[in-house]
Structure 1
Amino acid sequence: MMNNKLKLIFFYFLLFFVMECESTKIIEIQGHRGCRGLMPENTLEAFKKAIELGVHTIELDVAISKDNIVVVSHEPFMSRTTCLDMNGFEIAEDYDKKYNLYQMTFDSIKQFDCGTKFHPRFTKQQKLKTYKPSLDEVIKTSKKLNPKIKFNIEVKSKPSFDGIFTPSPKDFVALVLRVVNDNQVFKTTNIQSFDLRVLEETKKQSPKMKVALLIGANEDVFGKLSSMSFLPEIISPDYKLLNDKLVRDLKTKNFQVIPWTVNSVEDLKKVIELNVDGIITDYPDRLINLLYK
């Protein structure tokens, strides 16, 4: 039997070990839309750059084309803010949402230039002519660069888009899961959404798929959670909602906490101090510098 002195030494050793592990815990670095602050969003070039920088996970958004290709795009249409038309001209204001991806084949979607236009919010983006890729392309390209890279896939869905800009949540989720499974990245992927219907459908079709509940700035975390029929693995709130108590409460309930989208050095430092599990950022280079340099 261990005597009391040895028990005490063992206890303090164990306490030190736990505290040391906690202090050196790795924060998952997620490149938002690749690395939107540095490269055109949701493009192969943005994902390549993010992986070269050293992100653990690439975060991206998906829509569906007319021919049922899962397209990597934040909007289910050609945004005037990020894209030029197939002739290289500005998309007129009265053409906003006219180029509906759900009514376009993937071949026609690739004709639009979504990398040359100046972005008013991300003035340091490197500009180059590029297109909206398929999810299949992104996964294959990313895995070649880093076989261990993880994928955080946001399904962009809401009731007003059903049948107009997007398929039903059931069909949408099925198409995304097919690409994930065909590329054998199930274990390194999670699906996230603001739309509870998408998360419910994901668990129905694939019970073991990790899901992340996205929380908007004007939403209540536990109020939204109470509307779900299951508990998601990850809670991803707007970072401005976070405080010490909320993070502790969520982690006590065994949720991973991965806020979005934290960009300034000052905000990144504050969120790091909250002991979150990961951070989604447009500037993964800034986060990497803070954590490792």
Structure 2
Amino acid sequence: MNCKEEKFIDIQGHRGCRGLLPENTIEAFKKAIDLGVHTLELDVAVSKDGIVVVSHEPYISRTYCLDTDGNEILEAFDKKYNLYQMTFDSIKQFDCGTKLHPRFPEQKKMKTYKPSLEEVIRISKNKNPNIKFNIELKSRPEYDGIYTPEPNEFVKLVLDVVNKNNAFNETNLQSFDLRVLEEIKEQSPKITVALLVDEDESIQSKMSKMSYAPEIISPYYKLLDAKTVNTLQANNFLIIPWTVNTNEDLLKMIDLNVNGIITDYPNRLIQILKD
């Protein structure tokens, strides 16, 4: 397919490479870089002591983590281990790599922990100075002050880490929460912003609620068709869908000429682009 050769597609490793190694871990990010991704997609929360922690949930998830003694976390304790109420040192005591993830049987298992954003940026840049970061701030109104800081503080903490580690030009920030996106533009007008659109949302409707135009539109992949992609790109938006995993769906997104693809299996996308 000539389109694959002619057009650059930003290969984004979702939570590192969740299909292959435990999500949002140093090991997964290193593996993704070794595979050849251009961008590491990751999620952040905040600890009690103000450390930006790389984690999809603002709590220790019983789906893929064990407690500090290596035991299963009971359903009754779901969401009990709130990262915002725990120091970073205590968060690191939980094993988030040994337990078999029910949705990712190919994941290689290993004892590992939730790292800090600073650690991820530093190690990743040492491994590949050109690597880029797509950082999602996991925020919801009902989390404010309970599981996460208020949006203004959350955004400030993340920007401080990005700037301190000289990663501004390699980073974009993304969120489903429009309050966070407005706060990002207020605090850092020149940083690249991605609007995340969930599967039950409308791209146009959500865009219309923003006070500015983000550089990237990042919708659930099934929301996209040729007309939508062409129209958005004609208006200078980059289109980077999430989370595309099967070869069939990866090929569909390539055929739509999207600008990037977020995938749990960057190895599959890389192979398709080589063929």
TM-score range, shorter chain: over 0.9
Which residue pairs with 1:215 in the alignment?
197
Q: Distance in 2 between matches of 1:137 and 1:22?
A: 34
Which residue pairs with 2:259 in the alignment?
277
The reply on whether 1:175 has 2:166 as its aligned counterpart is: no
Distance change in 2, residues 1:22/1:51 (3 Å): closer
Q: Distance in 1 between matches of 2:69 and 2:41?
A: 29
CA displacement at 1:22 relative to structure 2? 9.0
Which residue pairs with 2:70 in the alignment?
88
CA displacement at 1:82 relative to structure 2? 1.0
Whichever residue aligns with residue 154 of structure 1, its letter is E
TM-score by length of 2: 0.98
Whichever residue aligns with residue 8 of structure 2, its letter is I
- Answer yes or no: is the 8 Å Cα contact 2:152–2:180 preserved in 1: yes
The reply on whether 1:260 has 2:242 as its aligned counterpart is: yes
Whichever residue aligns with residue 282 of structure 1, its letter is D
> Deviation string for 1:136-187 (max 9, x for gaps)?
0000010111000000000000000000000000000000000000000100
Q: Distance in 1 between matches of 2:167 and 2:92?
A: 25
The reply on whether 1:234 has 2:216 as its aligned counterpart is: yes
The reply on whether 1:106 has 2:88 as its aligned counterpart is: yes
Q: Distance in 2 between matches of 1:270 and 1:218?
A: 20
Whichever residue aligns with residue 66 of structure 2, its letter is L
Which residue pairs with 1:159 in the alignment?
141
Q: Distance in 2 between matches of 1:119 and 1:227?
A: 36
Instruction: Identify the match of residue 46 of structure 2 among 43, 59, 64.
Output: 64
- Answer yes or no: is the 8 Å Cα contact 2:5–2:273 preserved in 1: no
Whichever residue aligns with residue 215 of structure 2, its letter is E
TM-score by length of 1: 0.92
4+ residue runs over 2 A deviation: 20-23
SS where residue 273 of structure 2 aligns? Answer: helix
Q: Distance in 2 between matches of 1:122 and 1:22?
A: 28
The reply on whether 1:43 has 2:25 as its aligned counterpart is: yes
Instruction: Identify the match of residue 148 of structure 1 among 111, 125, 130.
Output: 130
> Deviation string for 1:101-123 (max 9, x for gaps)?
00000000000000000001000
Q: Distance in 1 between matches of 2:160 and 2:182?
A: 17
> Deviation string for 1:125-145 (max 9, x for gaps)?
000000000000000010111
> Deviation string for 1:216-253 (max 9, x for gaps)?
11101010000000000000000001100000010011
Equivalenced residues, count? 274
Which residue pairs with 2:232 in the alignment?
250
Identical-residue share of aligned pairs (%): 69
SS where residue 251 of structure 2 aligns? Answer: helix
Q: Distance in 1 between matches of 2:73 and 2:180?
A: 31
Instruction: Identify the match of residue 170 of structure 2 among 184, 188, 212.
Output: 188
CA radius of gyration, larger in: 1
Whichever residue aligns with residue 241 of structure 2, its letter is P
Alpha-carbon RMSD: 1.1
Q: Distance in 2 between matches of 1:166 and 1:218?
A: 24
Instruction: Identify the match of residue 202 of structure 1 among 181, 184, 194.
Output: 184
- Answer yes or no: is the 8 Å Cα contact 2:240–2:261 preserved in 1: yes
Q: Distance in 1 between matches of 2:53 and 2:5?
A: 39
Whichever residue aligns with residue 167 of structure 2, its letter is V
Whichever residue aligns with residue 159 of structure 2, its letter is L
Which residue pairs with 1:12 in the alignment?
none
CA displacement at 1:23 relative to structure 2? 5.7
Distance change in 2, residues 1:21/1:121 (3 Å): closer
Whichever residue aligns with residue 171 of structure 1, its letter is E
Instruction: Identify the match of residue 32 of structure 1 among 2, 6, 14.
Output: 14
SS where residue 50 of structure 1 aligns? Answer: helix
> Deviation string for 1:7-28 (max 9, x for gaps)?
xxxxxxxxxxxxx999611100
Q: Distance in 2 between matches of 1:286 and 1:35?
A: 11
- Answer yes or no: is the 8 Å Cα contact 2:53–2:116 preserved in 1: yes
Whichever residue aligns with residue 147 of structure 1, its letter is P
